[in-house]
Amino acid sequence: MDRLDNTVRPYAWGSTTLIPRLLGTEPTGEPQAEMWMGAHPGAPSRTPRGPLTDVIDADPERELGPEAVARFGPRLPFLLKILAAGAPLSLQVHPDLARARAGFEEEERRGVPIDAPHRNYKDANHKPELICALTEFDGLCGFRPPLETAELLAALEVDSLKPYVDLLRAQPEEAALREVLTAVLSADREEMAATVAETAAACDRLGGAHAPYAGIAHHYPGDPGVIAAMLLNHVRLQPGEALFLGAGVPHAYLNGLGVEIMANSDNVLRCGLTPKHVDVPELLRVVRFEAGDAGVLRPEASPDGEELYDTPIDEFRLSRLVLPDGVAPRDLSLRTPQILLCTAGSPHVGEHALAPGRSVFVPAGEKAEVSGTGTLFRATVVA
């Protein structure tokens, strides 16, 4: 197995303190947003044998196992991250596999450069994801029932929001959500900026359930995404709780530290809270206009104590192991590739002593004996 040396991405929304605190290092004053663990070509983990991308490319069946290669191809099908949000991320959705393939092929046929700022599909894969909180973690996930959102907006007493309130009260659920989101994202920018400013002031004044949206508006003044965000459920995860984001589910992370795992893709369609490209027609093709609660996940303990975050996705499987003091070493060997990430304590994986924020890649079939105390997250696939 290989100890991983991982890249930290300095996106502007990143926290300046959360990742350094986990790693036990001094903050630099610069944002540290995401630590990537895996074989994504944008920032592959480094190993003593070279970049993990090169290690896998040299012998996919040896590193990933024949079952995983047969099912997902000769690449690691997931990307594991530590995510540290100090400010809201963009409001976004991800396509399903069929739309990702069709959209990618269409943009390839039109000759849109892969790095063009207006390109929607960077690859032909879907991007379901799971975020598990390490600290209290705030986010937005899925549409709130329209009548509840109507009451939330009506309480602000902002005249320019009244047409949205009327639509949310009068139309069936899917039509109401679609019409309001379309209207918000298509509105005149100057008029919408004025609406957002008045809405933000009212949210700040009322507090309570409105407070998260005042905070979002502080970071993105005048952005239509502030109003779009008010259509969504606000959720505060406690450590160990998680959210699964499937295709078409609008979401945004607001603040906190978490372990994130996703299919190995970079396909994002943005709804707002960003200076980046927003393709409204394509977005409306992808969004699922269904209301419900945020669907907080809690891990399910197996007889051996491993706690699984159950999702309908085969490209990744995330579980957590809390290793108490005095327990005998246990064998975590699998026929599939895995990354083991320490988030607390000082466990050993084979000969590797880990500390919070440190990780190892274990090839398929490689013996992985764990001892010591601490918390490990285990990322693998279902093959």
Residues annotated as part of the active site: 270
List CB contacts of 181: < 8 A, sequence separation 6 or more: 228, 231, 271, 284, 287, 289
- CA 115 to CA 277: how far, in whole Å? 12
- CA 173, distance to chain mean position in Å, is 26
As a whole number of Å, the end-to-end CA separation of the chain is 20
Q: Residue 79 in contact with residue 262, Cβ under 8 Å? A: yes
- Strand, coil or helix: 342: strand
- CA neighbor of 249 nearest in space, from 104, 130, 152: 130
24-31: which pairs have CB atoms within 8 A and are 24 or more residues apart? 24/355, 24/356, 24/357, 31/86
Q: Residue 317 in contact with residue 308, Cβ under 8 Å? A: yes
- CA 77 to CA 25: how far, in whole Å? 31
